[in-house]
A and B are shown apart, each in its own frame.
Chain A
């Protein structure tokens, strides 16, 4: 297994895959830092919680899309491209078993993702420090955990891509089908599930109740979608609470209702939605297992 792992890691570094992922992540953080900086100019101080809340909103919205596509595309061409180029025939003519090779390859690519994620954590922390957010242990931990979720999403998409790569002989067709699969599970199916949520939700349901209902539907009907699971987890990062405020005006005293956001943290969200976090891991293993079973029996010509 280590041979395939070493080769894939080398490949990841030499072919600059790790840098490609990192650049995508940095490009995602640039507008975020800009928004935070603008907020500082107009509203003065910005708390770590508010900055983290915004960061998570931003990152889950955009990173899941770009990194998801990147990962599924990398996975979808992982095996068939090597068959087309003949490299796999050279490798497997050596003293390397198919099982060890594919597991090593997958592990190598996952480690490349993880290195990119670790570098992205540093970039994110640097960005937050630049806009004046105090880098407390909690902020650093939350940025790390957020990137761990992104990493798990990438790994699951990678494994899903591996299935396509072992079933579709042409890397060109696999690429096209991977994009279709991505849009179906990232965009189209969640629309249907959300529609179901809103159709079945009682009229007087609270914001929190609706969030719980959506999370349950996503768990039940979109368990195979890494982006749906990640979105579910991050939706629990903050709670919204309706508070009654009293205002004294020259004309008298008035009250109004205001929704305030209480930031709970990524660790809290993972704890609350452990099932979705577990699904991210378990589904990666299931997808990988399907790809492995197929790979060990396929004709490599």
Chain B
């Protein structure tokens, strides 16, 4: 079953085209990492999916229900879908005057979760996110990490079939990130579908089986994490530090060369250039001081994708 299908979604904010005909599909049981640099349109996609912003055109299908078409949301379909969705926004504060228990209780109310089940469910969730010990403490006194964990707990209150997380790991410390990934893995084991956005590849690569890369409102790459990483490695290169007593000619190579001292050259070369470097060293009598594989950052891959687009 397709849990989320977006077709040709367009959203224009005044003169900025935030979504430029975005299309993607998330299938049942997938852990879909939605990658993209800041401002690429990740949050806009998520907000549009949930009816929190109005896209200009396109189609959105959530859990088999057509929720958006011809510039209009179907209120009925959207509410039906929302009853099976959990959402964690990127930046949000919950009510400071409530305790985590009260927060989850009031949100559970919107799903008509029976009183008898509710207490048990809230306890389970607060234990999962390690907040049970502070269940009676006001949220206003929580740290950023605790607030983030409560945001995750509220997204799980209705035991959703589709979990949508917007930059869920931003602001978390390494321990928090590890705990968070563990929760995602548990969701995966339970057969749930997770769609989450991030601008950091490392955050998605361990837990996602499918990744989509959005740049300037369009999906530029999609595939499993192995394919995406391969794509990354294609753009990998070498960082070389050469030492030589006589001038070296770099004719015929497309490298970025910097003379760091009269006898030393720093070279940034794309692709696998070991053969050429070997040849250079042998012919011109240079000495390799350092040779490192250089994997580009996600940001650089995004930029190269943008460049390729022209």
Residues of A whose CB lies within 8 Å of any CB of B are 3, 6-7, 10-11, 14-15, 85-87, 89-97, 297, 299-301
Which residues of chain A come closer than 8 Å to B106, judged between CB atoms?
A: 6-7, 10
A14 B154 Cβ-Cβ under 8 A: no
Give the number of residues in B that approach A within 8 Å (Cβ atoms). Answer: 35
B47 A87 Cβ-Cβ under 8 A: no
B257 at the interface (CB under 8 A from A): no
Residues of B whose CB lies within 8 Å of any CB of A are 13, 43-44, 47, 50-54, 75, 79, 82-83, 85-87, 89-95, 97-98, 106-107, 109-111, 151, 154-155, 158, 164
Which residues of chain A come closer than 8 Å to B91, judged between CB atoms?
A: 86
Contact among A10, A14, A92 with B51 in the assembled complex (CB-CB below 8 Å) = A92
Considering the complex, give the chain A residue whose CB is closest to the CB of B87. Answer: A93
Considering the complex, give the chain B residue whose CB is closest to the CB of A86. Answer: B92
Which residues of chain B come closer than 8 Å to A15, judged between CB atoms?
A: 97
B98 A14 Cβ-Cβ under 8 A: yes
B94 A90 Cβ-Cβ under 8 A: yes
The 10 nearest A-B residue pairs measured at CB: A86-B92, A93-B87, A14-B97, A299-B53, A94-B110, A89-B89, A300-B52, A95-B83, A85-B93, A95-B82
Q: A86-B89, A297-B54 are in contact. Are A94 and B43 (CB under 8 A)?
A: no
CB<8 Å pairs between A and B, sample of 20: A3-B110, A6-B106, A10-B98, A89-B50, A89-B89, A89-B92, A90-B87, A90-B92, A90-B151, A92-B50, A93-B87, A94-B82, A95-B111, A299-B47, A299-B52, A299-B53, A300-B52, A301-B44, A301-B52, A301-B53
A160-B233 Cα distance, complex, nearest whole Å: 58
A3 B97 Cβ-Cβ under 8 A: no
Which residues of chain A come closer than 8 Å to B53, judged between CB atoms?
A: 299-301
B50 A93 Cβ-Cβ under 8 A: yes
Considering the complex, give the chain A residue whose CB is closest to the CB of B164. Answer: A93
A265-B94 Cα distance, complex, nearest whole Å: 47
| Smallest CB separation, B195 vs chain A (Å) | 13
B93 A87 Cβ-Cβ under 8 A: yes
Which residues of chain A come closer than 8 Å to B151, judged between CB atoms?
A: 90
A90 B89 Cβ-Cβ under 8 A: yes
A92-B81 Cα distance, complex, nearest whole Å: 12
Which residues of chain A come closer than 8 Å to B95, judged between CB atoms?
A: 11, 14, 87
A282-B21 Cα distance, complex, nearest whole Å: 44
A87 B110 Cβ-Cβ under 8 A: no
Considering the complex, give the chain A residue whose CB is closest to the CB of B75. Answer: A97
A93 B98 Cβ-Cβ under 8 A: no
B52 A95 Cβ-Cβ under 8 A: no
| Smallest CB separation, B242 vs chain A (Å) | 51
Which residues of chain B come closer than 8 Å to A300, judged between CB atoms?
A: 47, 52-53
| Smallest CB separation, B171 vs chain A (Å) | 13
| Smallest CB separation, B153 vs chain A (Å) | 11
- Knowing that A89-B50, A90-B107, A97-B75 touch, tell me 18 more A-B residue pairs with CB under 8 angstroms: A6-B106, A14-B95, A85-B92, A86-B93, A87-B93, A87-B94, A90-B89, A90-B154, A92-B51, A93-B82, A94-B82, A96-B110, A97-B79, A297-B54, A299-B13, A299-B54, A301-B43, A301-B47
